[in-house]
Amino acid sequence: MTIVLAPMEGLLDFVLRDILTRVGGIDRCVSEFIRITDQLLPERVFTRIVPELLNGSRTLAGVPVRAQLLGSDPVCLAENAARLAALGPAGIDLNFGCPAKVVNRHGGGALLLETPEIIFDIVAAVRRAVPGHIPVSAKMRLGFNDDSRAVECALAIAGGGADELVVHARTKAQAYRPPAYWERIADIRAAVRIPVVANGEIWTVNDAHRCREASGCESLMLGRGMVTDPGLGLAIKASVDGAASPAGVAWPELVPLLAEFWQVVCTRLDARSRAGRLKQWLNFLRRRFPEAQTAYQQIRTTNDPALIDVWLAELKRANVVDGTPLPKAAVAAA
Catalytic residue numbers read 98
CB-based contacts of 79: which residues, under 8 Å, 6+ apart?
40, 129
Integer CA distances (angstroms), 21 to 3, 130, 167, 234, in order: 11, 27, 22, 11
The two most distant CA atoms of the chain are separated, in Å, by: 64
Instruction: Return d(Cα 205, Cα 203) in angstroms, integer.
Output: 7
222 strand-pairing partners? 5
Residue 239 CA to residue 210 CA, distance in Å, equals 13
Three-class SS state of 58? strand
- Full DSSP string of 272-300: HHHHHHHHHHHHHHTTT-HHHHHHHHHHT
Half-sphere exposure of 200 (CA within 13 A, CB side): 30
